[in-house]
């Protein structure tokens, strides 16, 4: 009996007018392909960039593909994951069997990626106890997404940092610069800003401006190997029901 065909992994990215966004998404996808070369990985964008999600799905259906795992390239379950992406997938060609994977966060691997970026920016593990960290996310009006960021900050604090404060570039408070001041007031010897965002763009640039008073500004998560591993974890979890159904 032949093994079942693996579903195509469709990475669904938001898209941006900033060319750095698409370049970073493609770099992350290349890393995913390198980790799992037997899986076909495609990329579609909700807005601004091509190919569109709808266009990729139509092309896959024309090729005869039947099973797709659509993976939101998002860190929290906010509006895009709850509304935009399901709406796009609902209009896909009817012969496609599509399962929407969970968003990337929260995950211990993402915390590891955040620390990787901080160490690449100049910190060392010996600095943790004297360093306050701003966990700077894009922000959302969705209470669930905001609560998740606050939970991540609390969890991360328990790994040895002097303090960790959440901050938001839009929709919610505090802003990055406010969280930097809070950490200074707490007496942390140094303050670092860790952008909890996947790719450069308008809101990450706002985070960077808010980090002007910090000692260290880490890079976006981008194609960190830990992020690629989270993508594959979400893919495997989404395709598992189909594997169980065929006894694989």
Per-residue model confidence as pLDDT tens digits over 223-234: 999 999 999 999
pLDDT the model gives residue 119: 98
Average pLDDT of the chain is: 94
User: Is residue 151 within 8 Å of residue 109, measured between CB atoms?
Assistant: no
Per-residue model confidence as pLDDT tens digits over 2-26: 556 899 999 999 999 999 999 999 9
Report the side by side order of strands in the sheet with 97-100. 41-45, 8-13, 67-72, 97-100
pTM, two decimals, is: 0.94
Round to whole Å and give the CA distance between 41 and 25. 12
Does the pLDDT at position 244 exceed 50?
Answer: no
Per-residue model confidence as pLDDT tens digits over 152-192: 999 999 999 999 999 999 988 999 999 999 999 999 999 99
Does the pLDDT at position 237 exceed 90?
Answer: yes
Per-residue model confidence as pLDDT tens digits over 91-102: 999 999 999 999
pLDDT the model gives residue 221: 98
Residue 172, number of CB atoms within 10 A of its CB? 20
Q: Which of 204, 200, 201 minimizes the C-alpha distance to 168?
A: 204
pLDDT the model gives residue 241: 66
Q: Which two tokens stand for residue 29?
A: 């996808």
pLDDT the model gives residue 245: 43
Round to whole Å and give the CA distance between 200 and 219. 9
Per-residue model confidence as pLDDT tens digits over 54-98: 999 999 999 999 999 999 999 999 877 888 999 999 999 999 999
**Scanning the structure block, which residue is given the tokens 């399901």?**
86
Q: Which of 161, 81, 184, 70 minimizes the C-alpha distance to 115?
A: 161
- Output the furthest CA–CA distance in the chain (Å, rounded): 66
């Amino acid at each position: 009996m032949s093994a079942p065909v693996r579903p195509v992994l469709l990475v669904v990215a938001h898209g941006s007018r900033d060319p750095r966004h698409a370049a970073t998404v493609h770099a992350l996808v290349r890393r995913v392909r390198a980790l799992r070369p037997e899986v076909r990985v495609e990329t579609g964008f909700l807005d601004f960039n091509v190919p569109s999600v709808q266009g990729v799905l139509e092309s896959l259906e024309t090729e005869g593909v039947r099973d797709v795992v659509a993976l939101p390239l998002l860190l929290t379950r906010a509006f895009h994951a709850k509304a935009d992406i399901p709406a796009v997938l609902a209009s896909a060609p009817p012969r496609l069997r599509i399962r929407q994977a969970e968003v990337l966060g929260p995950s211990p691997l993402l915390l590891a990626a955040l620390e990787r970026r901080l160490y690449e920016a100049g910190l060392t593990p010996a600095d943790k106890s004297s360093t306050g960290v701003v966990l700077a996310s894009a922000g959302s009006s969705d209470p669930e997404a905001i609560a998740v960021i606050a939970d991540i900050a609390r969890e991360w604090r328990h790994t040895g940092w002097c303090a960790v404060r959440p901050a938001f570039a839009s929709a919610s408070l505090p802003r990055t610069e406010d969280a930097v001041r809070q950490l200074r007031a707490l007496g942390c010897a140094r303050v670092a800003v860790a952008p909890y965002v996947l790719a450069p763009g308008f809101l990450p640039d706002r985070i960077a401006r808010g980090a002007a008073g910090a000692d260290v500004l880490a890079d976006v998560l981008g194609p960190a190997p830990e992020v690629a591993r989270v993508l594959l974890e979400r893919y495997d979890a989404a395709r598992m029901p189909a594997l169980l159904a065929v006894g694989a």
